[in-house]
Amino acid sequence: MNDRRADALAPLPAQTAPPSAPITVQKSGPRGPGGGENRTVIARGAAAREGVGAAAGEGVGAAAGEGVGAAAAVGGRAGSDVPDALTLGKRIRALRLARRMTVGALGAAIGRAASQVSVIENGKRELKLAELQRLATALGTDLDALLGSASLSRRDELEIALARAQQGPLFASLRLGALPIRRSLSDDAIETILALHDELERLHRERAATPEEARRANTELRAQQRARDNHYAELEQIAADLLAAIGHRGGPLSQRAASELAAHLGFSIHYVRDLPVTTRSITDHRHHRIYLPIHQPGTDPRSALLQALGAHVLGQPEPSDYGDLLRQRVETNYLAGALLVPESSAVPYLAKAKAARELSVEDLRDHFAVSYETAAHRFTNLATKHLGIPVHFIKVHSSGAISKAYENDGAKFPVDPLGSVEGQRVCRWWSARQVFSVEDRLSPYHQYTDKPNGTYWCTSHIESASNGDFSVSVGTRFAEAKWFRGRDTSNRLESRCPDPSCCRDPEPALAATWAGVAWPSARLNSSLLAAMPDGSTTGVDKVAVVEFLERHAPVD
Ligand SMILES: [Zn+2]
């Protein structure tokens, strides 16, 4: 699992890239402009001159104390197998020592000071092709031997790796002094430092990348949903076939009918008290059992069962990344919704309501005996495709943060710089937040909101879950409000978001009054920090799941 995650993170910037990249050595193949000859090009990066690396203190290698500062070159980028300056330096030193030459002698042979040879051997200076050739000659070898793939000693490899680590951003962020790589530093010590460095880096990347990846996947999925008006014909068809198979005649799907569906698919249902907390159901394919929690406050007991059946029907494998997980979740939820509120009976019901100008999410909820959220979801699935009404849907925590959102009516949700909606705070003047200040939580709340891109009508309702209160809102543009019950509301507010003066900045006078004397203590959002606790995609505790199955499996 961790390996797969590492793959998923691969596009992130490579750890070895120093802030400035002085040298790129490229060996062009037969396709080079030289007409087939093997040509070596040593390009000089413009940044080479400014390469005074803050992290690099002392010199790397035996000749410590020299060559302070210049960031070492990292070549061999873009998949090239040509050695970088550090590797090159190590090779030159190995060859020099093999020939029992001093740095002074080698320097004399190439017309350089001894200190310059050390700088080269430490990988701290770019080399021109002519210099490389002179070095090769002085060492009694040829260019290919210097640039070729002759392997380095383990010690040299370790020193190179440590030098690179010290030049990287992670080491710099730790604000540690540079560690001179002297002979007295044992191989074991270097290996330990490198292992710690790599693990720290892995953790950093995981932390930084997971929410990022999740938000990206959400944004992508929302675009796909918008493109199809949030209607999945193939899933509607699967739901219709399943319902036909158990002889369902339309209307609400009873708990008994849901059980019949499970039996039809060959599963027995087992309600248990000890379902692992990271799961909503567990399917045992060996014994054809579905385990469900006995008590799950605030949720429709049919939903978890239908979602488990949906995952089986759709043949979903374990998701390979967050995008996969999200797609699968959307599909199983969609299928569960399509079973609870079948298209074939919901569409005539809604069409009739539209004709009477009495469209209402509450009515849909009551007619099919589902949660408000399921009714709102189903409404967005069917409204554009079958009623010709573009809509938006938004689920918002009482803190104002968006947890789910969909639109094809041009509603502009708050977005972060990457275009993600989840976790962003909705304008306080929107219906989705105003509903929290309404005392009567049973009656539907309706509101017109004048937004920068036009006026919208919305209906909002609060649902309580184990992780807090959420408002679920469905809205549409002013022109379409005429089809809905509640269009005659007198609630009307203006939202100028994303203009910060709308609701994000306090009034200047108030801000001045309280400047420096208000000390709010923040509540950390634990779910954000613990996005994927074990680096897995789903966060499911696999140990707990296996133990659970062992505990409950019938004796074979
Ligand atoms: Zn606002």
Q: What is the spatial distance between Cα 226 and Cα 234, in angstroms, rounded to a whole number? A: 16
Cα–ligand 1 centroid distance for 429 (angstroms): 6
Centre of ligand 1 from the C-alpha of residue 100, in Å: 75
Inside any domain, residue 265: no
Question: Distance from the CA of 499 to the center of ligand 1, in angstroms?
Answer: 7
Residue 37 burial (CB count, 10 A): 9
The range of the structural domain enclosing residue 60 comes to 2-204
Give 427 Cα–ligand 1 centroid separation in angstroms.
4
Q: Give the pLDDT score at 449.
A: 97
Q: What CATH number should be reported for the domain holding residue 454?
A: 3.30.450
> Residue 422: inside a domain, yes or no?
yes
Domain final position from 154, 178, 204? 204
Q: Is residue 125 part of a domain?
A: yes
Helices (H), 450-553: 508-514, 526-529, 542-552
Q: Do 149 and 131 form a contact (C-beta atoms < 8 A)?
A: no
pLDDT tens string, the chain, 556 residues long: the values are: 333 333 333 333 333 333 333 333 333 333 333 333 333 333 333 333 333 333 333 333 333 333 323 333 333 333 345 577 888 888 888 889 888 899 999 999 998 899 999 999 888 887 888 888 888 889 888 887 777 766 678 888 888 889 888 887 778 778 788 888 888 999 999 999 999 998 888 777 666 656 677 777 888 888 899 999 999 999 999 999 999 999 998 888 988 999 999 999 999 999 999 888 888 889 998 999 999 988 766 677 888 899 999 989 998 777 777 788 888 989 999 999 999 999 999 999 999 999 999 999 999 999 999 999 999 999 999 999 999 999 999 999 998 889 899 999 999 998 876 667 888 889 999 999 999 999 888 888 999 999 999 999 999 999 988 778 999 999 999 999 999 999 999 999 999 988 888 888 888 888 888 877 777 766 654 444 344 434 444 556 666 677 788 788 887 6
Ligand 1 center to 308 CA (angstroms) = 40
Asked whether residue 232 is assigned to any structural domain, the reply reads: no
Q: Name the domain boundary from 468, 488, 508.
A: 508
How remote is the CA of residue 512 from the centroid of ligand 1, in Å? 21
Rg of the chain in Å (alpha carbons): 32
Q: In this structure, which residues have their CB less than 5 angstroms from ion ligand 1?
A: 427, 495, 497, 502-503
Q: Which helix (H) or strand (E) holds 26?
A: strand 23-28
Residue carrying the six token digits 């080479």 = 48
- Are 476 and 449 spatial neighbours (Cβ–Cβ below 8 Å)? no
pLDDT at 320: 78
Bridge partners of 40? 27
- Ligand 1 centroid from CA 434, angstroms: 11
- Say if 417 falls within a structural domain: yes
**Which of 383, 430, 360 minimizes the C-alpha distance to 402?**
430
pTM above 0.85, yes or no: no
Task: Give the per-residue pLDDT at 167.
Answer: 81
CA 352/CA 355 separation, integer angstroms: 5
324 falls within a domain: no
Taking each helix axis from N to C end, the angle separating 361-368 and 343-355, rounded to the nearest 10 degrees, works out to: 140
493 found inside a domain: yes
> Cα of 480 to ligand 1 centre, how many Å?
23
Look at residue 209 and tell me if it is in a domain: no
User: ω into residue 498 within 30 of 0, thus cis?
Assistant: yes
pLDDT of amino acid 210 = 62
The DSSP secondary-structure symbol of 194 reads H
532 CA from centroid of ligand 1 (Å): 32
Core vs surface per residue 242-253: b (16+ CB within 10 A) or e: bbeebebeeebb
Query: Can you give the pLDDT at residue 240?
Result: 95
Q: What is the pLDDT of residue 391?
A: 97
CATH number of the domain bearing residue 48: 1.10.260.40
**Number of domains observed in the structure of the chain:** 2
CA of 330 to the centre of ligand 1 (A): 30
Q: Rounded to whole angstroms, how far apart are CA atoms 535 and 538?
A: 9
Q: Is 435 exposed, middle or buried (0-12, 13-18, 19+ CB in 10 A)?
A: buried
Q: How far is CA 406 from CA 31, 182, 223, 227, 312, in A?
A: 51, 59, 9, 11, 26
